[in-house]
Structure formats: structure tokens, C-alpha cells
Chains A and B, each alone.
Chain A
Amino acid sequence: MPLCTRWSNFRTSFQFKLFLIFTLLTLLITSLLSVLYIVTENHKAHHLAAEQLQLRTQQLAESIRLPLYAENREMLRQLAEQAAQAAEIRAVVITAPDGRMLAGFYSPDYSATAESISQSVSVQCNPQSDSVESSLTGGHGTTSSPLGSVRMVRGTADLSRARLQVVMISTSAAIAFWLTVSLLCHLVLRRVTRSFNTLVYGINAMQDGNFISRIGIESDDEPGRAARAVNNLADALQQRDEENRRLQEERMNLERQMLQTQKLESLGVMAGGIAHDFNNLLQAILGNIELASMKLPADAAPQKYIANAITSGKHAAHLTNLMLTYLGKGLTAKKELNLNELVRDNTEMLRTTTSAAVSTELHLSPELPAITADIAHIQQVVMNLISNAAESILEQPGRVRITTGTQNCDQACLSASLLEEKPESGRYVFLEVSDNGCGMSQETLQRLFDPFFTTKFTGRGLGMSAVMGIIRIHNGALFVESEPDKGTTFRALFPVSESAPPATAQEPVIPPSESTIPESSLSGLVLVVDDEKPVLKICTKMVQLCGFTVITACDGIDAVAKFREHTDEIAVVLMDLTMPNMDGLAAMSEIYLIRPDIKVIISSGFNKEELSERITDQPPCGFIRKPYSMNVLEAEMRRVMLTD
């Protein structure tokens, strides 16, 4: 605070005003008392000097009685000079009753006009000295006439010196007293007004928005009570401020969640549309390629290229599935599984693809409970986390440690999850993957789950996005600790399966394969419905190759009409889910109304769970996800046909 501002504040303070009043009052009283003391002392000194001169004159009068009576001038002169030896005596004059001066002494510095003190005493006979007659008769004699008079004059130089001394001493004492009282007054006022100042400072601090600091209550007087009231007010303000901050934070979280939800919805709509179209395209591509492969001999030279095309098409389908997974719409097939088995299998597979200099440590809990999850998704999570850990180790050798176990998590623990949706408290199986790689910066951590964000040259930026989507689908949580150049630790939590006992070895999940489908002849009329003509065309061909007779429809309305036309002839309806005018589900409902025992197979680019969520009445008999191969179609058709 600038000096001028501090002075201005001090000048207008209560303490300064009281100090000024007390100081001026003390100065006034001290000055008055000093003046009174000086005047009194001066008067007293003057009076004392006059009394002393009176006594001295009286003493001289007593001593000159006889020579004065005898008018012995010489003796009177000697006595006068002797009396004049006293200090400050300026003149001694002895006169007869008739006024004649019998003796006189004047000092050289005597001046009639100078300030002086004069005393005159009439010289009388000794009052005890009786006349002859009165002493004989015992009576009172006549009053004797005075023998003369004596006058003494003294100067006042010593009085002036004494007066000056008194003035100096009293002034010094007054100043010292005034300063002492002022100092004491200052100390007392500072002590008294400290509580006021504390109150003011506290209020100023609160005025500046500091609701944390509290005013020290030093006394139980009015300022103390005011400070207590202000503290209570500050408590209320702080609570309100914290409440506002919390509400603001909640509002921002809601906005962020809403934004995220909107983003996800937008992405979902976009990705769903893209996946649908992309899967339709892939269905047409892969179907045609597969048909072309079937037309060629097995050892034909183009088969190798056709196989490469099919592989790339499947990768494209996987990419589509990743995108849908991030949005929670990917293909899921939740089952109870043992995380340890999955980790062990994927670790072995990873060791074959990573550098030998990267060591992998497994710390798997032997009593790990089962979780209910999509094995493909969990496998994807394990693979993504382990491969990311291995790839973060830039400087060989490195270490990747994989740990599994269980932990009980409450809301406080789960609140640190990176996912917006916080799962409920409970028992969780965790998968922790830590490495001593390059770690991540804060900026990277903030964009960790952004789709298509990657720090790797070959990455597509969908791995961690898919991990987040998978964990969200499984109501899990994800934690990360990372520090640049020191490493990263991911911990994924999955809720323990409620029905499953502690997982032991589990039957490996065997995806549907062509070998599991029993060979039998297939026949009948199949209604193939799809709004995409290329897809409709290739599907029709694939169904025909399975042995069926096919009629086609280009949308739901057309399908219902065709089914109504061939109700009794149609054995299976293979219908696309997403179509204009009337989608697959609506058409399925209409068809079920016409013929409830008809076998309907829905084909879609979305997963089966999403389809299940949308179906409220009779479900379809089968589901086949685009893009599907000839074998998959045949197997599903065969399964549906064999099902009662």
C-alpha cells in the first residue's frame, strides 16, 4: 500500500482522531497547569522574598533600637552596611521619626526605577520595657512613640533567575509529561482500536472476495461481536460461494456431458449411417468377390488376389465395428468369462509380435471372479492396452506388467474414472497394464479418447476410443496414471458377474464357423428384402446358391405386399433392418401379423443388442450381421430352417 494511502487511511482513522483529541487536550491541560505552576511559583518566590526582606528589616529594626534612640549615626551606618551584605540587598535606609535620614546605604547597582522589593519597618521601643511609673504602679504605660523607621530594598535578579529556572524545569517536565501521556495514549488507543482495525481489515478482505480468511476475535466488546457477526456472514457467503461453485461445476459437467452426449449421438448417427452404408457396400463387394471366387477353380491364380481382397474387406468391416464400438453400438455377445485366460492368451500372441527386448510380466490373481462381457470386446481392450504399452517403449529394453485382481470401489474411488458415466459402487475385477515407456503429456491425456487422435505413425486413432466405448458398454471404469518419460499405468474395471462363481477355466469362445454347420439340403421360397439394389442382388444370388428360391422386395411396404401375395409359399424372410418408407422391424411386425410362424432373419450393419432393444413384440428368428459371407448366410439359414 502506498505511503500516501496509508497516511490518508491513518489520518481518517478512529484511532488518529481519538489520539489527536487526547493529545491536544493533554497539551492544553499541561500548558494550563504549567502556566499556573509558573505563576504560582513566581508569586510564591516573590512573596517569600518579601517576607524574608520583612524579617530581615524587622531584625535590623530590632538591632538598631538603641542606636536609633540615641541617634548614633556611626553605629547606624555600620549596622546598615552590615545588613546590606546580604544577597540582593540594594539599599538600607534608617530614618528618624521626623523623617531625617540617620543612616543610609545604597549598593552601586541600585536604581530607583529598577524592579525591586521594598520593606519598611517602624522601630518601636521594646514592648516589655515599662516606664518607671508603669513598672512601679503595675499599670499600663502610655503608648510609646516610634523611635524611627528602617527601609530595606532588595533586587529581583535572583528571582528572575529562579523564575527562568522554574519556567525551564516546568516546561521540560510538561513536555516530558505530555510526550509520555501521548505515547501511553497512543499505545492504549492502538490496543483499544486493534479490534476495530482487525474488523476493518477482515471486511476489506471479504470485500475483495476472500471469504476464507476470518477476523480474529480478540475481545467480547462491540468490535468483537461485530467481528463474530461478520465471520458468520463470511461463513454464509463462503457456503453460498462454494454452493455456487459446486452448482457451476455441476452445470459445466452437465454441459460437458450433454456436449459429449450430443457429440456421441452425432457421431453415432453419423457412424451408424456410415457403418450401415459401408457394411452394405462391403456386403456387395465381399459377396461379389466371394461369388467370383466360387466361380473360379480353387487353384486358379486369381484366388490369391481374391483372398487378399476378402481380407481387406474384412479389415474394413472390423474398422466399421470399431467405430460402432466406440459409440456403444458395435457387435456384442456378453458371456461370463475369465479375464485371466483372455490376458494369458493375448499376451502370448502379443509376445510374438513385439520386440524381444520388451519383457512382459504377468501378475494374475488366481481367484479372479468371472465377469459378464463380450469376449471380443474384452480381447480388444486387452490387446489395445498391451500393444499401446509395448509400443510406448521406445528405448529398449522395456517392461510391460499386466496385473489382474479384484477391488471394492466406492463412489469416491470411482469418481476418478476417466469416463463420464460413473458406475455404481461394488466389487470389480481390474486389469492393470503398466509400462515404463515414454508416458503421456497432459495434452495427450486430455485427448486420449478423442476418435482419430493418435501419436503413432501407423495408428488410426480408434484404439482407446474403442476401449472407452467397450468399458462404457460393460459399465466399467478406467483410470490412468502417466508421466512423461516414466511410463503409463492403465487400470480397467469390470463389474464382477453376479451369477457367476469365481471363474476358473472357461470354455473358449468358439466363433461360429463353417465346420459347425451340418450339411443338409436347403430349399423353399425366401423373401429377400433390401433397399440397396447391389446388396439385394448379391444377397439374392447368395440365397439362391444356398438352394432357395428367391423373391425380392425393395423396402418394407414392398416386402409386406410380396409376403401377403405369397404368404403360404414363403419359408424364410431375409430382411434388411434399415430401409426407407417402412424399416425392417415394422415390416416384420406386419408380416408376423399376417403369419406369426414365419421365420424372419434380420440382417443389419448394427449389432444384435441394438436390435433387441428396439424389438418390443415378437423377435426375429435369426440375425445376421453385414457384411456376411456365404458360409455364414448358409449356416444361419440352415439354423433357422432347422429350428421349430
Chain B
Amino acid sequence: MRRLTFIILALATLLPSLAQAYDILILQSRRDPAYEDVLKGLRAGHNASQRVLVLSDYAEVDVVRIVREDRPRVILAVGDAALTATRNVRNTPVVAVMSLGINSHKRSHDNLTGVGMLAPPARYIAMFKAMKIRRVGVICNPAKSGWYLRLARQAAEAAGIELVVREVSAPRESIERLSTLAGKVDALWMLPDSTAVTRGTVEAYFRFGQEQNIPVVSFAASYLGLGAAAVLEIDLLAIGRQADAMVAEILRGTRRESMSLDFPKGITLKTNSSVLKRLRIAINEDDSPLQ
């Protein structure tokens, strides 16, 4: 009888431990088709055990307690909400994807790595060069997009392109600042800056481009319908595969020393041929940003 009691207690203690043991804790901000595409790329690459936790399904999720109890070897945060939820996790490496604020989180988050949402500035500069653009207008909030702007300036200088920058601190300023670019730029570069580009100001960019008869280059294909001449769109599956490679390196222990952020590798150039034709702009194949 004593032996049976011991066996029962042992099983009750040990079985839950065995059930919660997994390699990857996937924190998903919400159920979103784009996130699912990313996860498809992730799951196609390895056979590691994982647990998926959709934060929007719960009123409140204590990620720190889950990590302490489940002890995953790596956390994959999909979306800004998931990344924010991991800000207090210090001992477990975090790979973030689909997060616009990944760069700001990186400053206070040493164990954070991941794939950004922005195409490398050099790609845009190369595209401007292919379009034979000399002056490019940019509106951005330095607090949010300063790091990206620095990279862009370096690339522009290298390519001989002048960036005419207007800084804003509030969305309403964007429209007024846009008007100051009239006649001073050959193209307008819409940065994925949540201050400069809002639902209220998006129309102003394209109206400006229409009024000034200059191309507007943006970052998402959805803007092509509003009048964008060309966009460099990221490939979600590619981001998933890129994150999967990071996770694999972490699991192997090879990436522990260099927890840096990567630009997305799968970049797709999409153009609005009608706009380009109306603006009589042709993109030189030799200078294609995808090369």
C-alpha cells in the first residue's frame, strides 16, 4: 500500500513536468492571416517542440510565469503585443518578428533578436537610382525612425542621391510639412513611420505626389492602389524562414554571442505601371533593388 501511494504521488508530480517540456514558446499577438503566413515559414524549417499562445485569446497573460514554469529554450514573439509581453523576460532569448517597434525594444532588451519589418534603406536608394531620381523627400519622426534615416542617408550619399528630410513629432504636422516639399524633391519616400504616416495623412502623400507629378515610393502593396508608383514589400514566408533559422541557431547555441536584428531578406518590388507610365519613369533593370 505504501508502495502504491508512492507511485501515485510520483506520477502526479512528474507527469506534468514531462508534459510542459518544449523548445519554443510562440507568443502570437492575435489571430491574423499574416502571422499565420510567418508561422508557416517557421514550422517548415525544424522539428523542435513548441507551444503557441495567442495573447488576444486571454484577458491577461503572465508570460514571465509561463516561461518560468515551462522553461522554453527560446521565445518567438509575433507582433508588437507579443514583443511587449516579453519585455520582462531576461533569461530566455526572444526572437521577434512582425513588430514595428523591434528596434526600440532592442535598446533595453539584450536577449532580443529578430527580423525587422523594413526593407534595407539601400534597396530603396537603389530603386531611386534606377528611377533616376536625384532628390528624395522624406517625412519622419526622428524618435521612431532616426536609426533607419541614418542608414538611408549613408546609402543615399553613397549613391549620390539627396534626401530632403522633414521631421515631425505629431501626425497633423505631416500635411503642413509635406507642403514645404513642393518643388524641392523629385520623389517622395514614405517611410513606415507611425507618426508621419497615419490613416489621416496617407492621402496627403499621394495627393502631394499627384499635385507635384512625382512618384511616391512606399513600403506596402496596399498603397499601390492609392497612387504609389512602387513599393518594396516584405515576404512573410521568408520572414518566417529567416526567424526559423535564428531559432535554430539559438537552439544550437551558436547565436548566443551575436543577438542582433536582421533586415528581412525576402523583398518584393511591386510597381503601379499606370502611375509609372503617366510619370514616364522606367526602372533600370541593371539597378534593380532586387539584385
Q: Are B199 and A136 in contact (CB under 8 A)?
A: no
Q: Does A137 contact B (CB under 8 A)?
A: yes
What 1/0 flags go to A54-88 for Cβ under 8 Å of B?
A: 00000000000111011110000000000000000
Contact A70/B219 with A129-B203, A139-B33 known, Cβ cut-off 8 Å: no
Q: Are A131 and B80 in contact (CB under 8 A)?
A: no
CA distance A133 to B98 in the complex (A): 9
Q: Are B117 and A136 in contact (CB under 8 A)?
A: yes
Q: Are B199 and A125 in contact (CB under 8 A)?
A: yes
Contact A66/B175 with A130-B222, A135-B223 known, Cβ cut-off 8 Å: yes
Partner of B199, one of A67, A72, A129, A139: A129
Bin the interface of chain A by size: 20 to 34
Q: Does B226 contact A (CB under 8 A)?
A: yes
Tell me, rounded to whole Å, the shortest Cβ–Cβ distance linking A509 to chain B: 153
Q: Are B203 and A133 in contact (CB under 8 A)?
A: no
Q: Does A616 contact B (CB under 8 A)?
A: no
Q: Are B192 and A136 in contact (CB under 8 A)?
A: yes
Q: Are B33 and A132 in contact (CB under 8 A)?
A: no
CA distance A134 to B79 in the complex (A): 11
Q: Does B257 contact A (CB under 8 A)?
A: no
What 1/0 flags go to B175-193 for Cβ under 8 Å of A?
A: 1100000000000000011
Q: Are A136 and B234 in contact (CB under 8 A)?
A: yes
Q: Are B33 and A69 in contact (CB under 8 A)?
A: no
Within 8 A of B (CB), among A127-160: 128-139, 141, 144, 147
CA distance A102 to B96 in the complex (A): 44
Tell me, rounded to whole Å, the shortest Cβ–Cβ distance linking B222 to chain A: 5
Q: Are A130 and B175 in contact (CB under 8 A)?
A: no
Q: Does B160 contact A (CB under 8 A)?
A: no
Q: Are A69 and B175 in contact (CB under 8 A)?
A: yes
Tell me, rounded to whole Å, the shortest Cβ–Cβ distance linking B84 to chain A: 13
Q: Are B226 and A128 in contact (CB under 8 A)?
A: yes
Q: Are A130 and B220 in contact (CB under 8 A)?
A: yes
Q: Are B100 and A133 in contact (CB under 8 A)?
A: yes
CA distance A126 to B225 in the complex (A): 12
Chain B residues within 8 Å of A128, by CB: 222, 225-226
Q: Are B175 and A70 in contact (CB under 8 A)?
A: yes
Q: Are A132 and B197 in contact (CB under 8 A)?
A: yes
Chain A residues within 8 Å of B197, by CB: 131-132
Chain A residues within 8 Å of B220, by CB: 130, 132, 135-136
Q: Does B212 contact A (CB under 8 A)?
A: no
| A-B interface pairs (CB < 8 A), number | 84
Closest-by-CB residue of B relative to A130 is B222
Closest-by-CB residue of A relative to B194 is A132
Within 8 A of A (CB), among B204-257: 204, 207, 219-220, 222-223, 225-226, 234, 236
Closest-by-CB residue of B relative to A65 is B203
Q: Are A136 and B219 in contact (CB under 8 A)?
A: yes
Q: Are A70 and B176 in contact (CB under 8 A)?
A: yes
Q: Are B226 and A129 in contact (CB under 8 A)?
A: yes
CA distance A144 to B225 in the complex (A): 19
Partner of A126, one of B35, B79, B194, B202: B202
Q: Does B198 contact A (CB under 8 A)?
A: yes
CA distance A134 to B100 in the complex (A): 11
Tell me, rounded to whole Å, the shortest Cβ–Cβ distance linking A325 to chain B: 146
Q: Does B201 contact A (CB under 8 A)?
A: yes
CA distance A67 to B175 in the complex (A): 8
Within 8 A of A (CB), among B24-76: 32-35
CA distance A546 to B177 in the complex (A): 191
Chain A residues within 8 Å of B234, by CB: 136
Contact A132/B193 with A66-B207, A69-B175, A71-B172 known, Cβ cut-off 8 Å: yes
Within 8 A of A (CB), among B111-157: 117
Chain B residues within 8 Å of A139, by CB: 32-34
Q: Are B194 and A133 in contact (CB under 8 A)?
A: yes
Partner of A66, one of B35, B100, B204, B226: B204
Q: Are A144 and B199 in contact (CB under 8 A)?
A: yes
Chain A residues within 8 Å of B34, by CB: 137-139
CA distance A95 to B76 in the complex (A): 46
Q: List 26 A-B contacts (CB under 8 A).
A: A66-B175, A66-B201, A66-B203, A69-B200, A72-B176, A125-B199, A126-B226, A128-B222, A128-B226, A129-B200, A129-B203, A129-B226, A130-B199, A131-B197, A131-B198, A133-B80, A133-B100, A136-B192, A136-B219, A136-B234, A137-B98, A138-B222, A138-B236, A139-B33, A144-B200, A147-B200
Chain B residues close to A by CB (< 8 Å)? 32-35, 79-80, 98, 100, 117, 172, 175-176, 192-194, 197-204, 207, 219-220, 222-223, 225-226, 234, 236
Question: A135-B219, A136-B220 are known contacts; what are 14 more A-B pairs with Cβ within 8 Å?
Answer: A66-B203, A69-B175, A70-B172, A72-B176, A129-B200, A130-B222, A130-B223, A131-B198, A132-B193, A132-B194, A133-B194, A136-B234, A137-B79, A138-B33
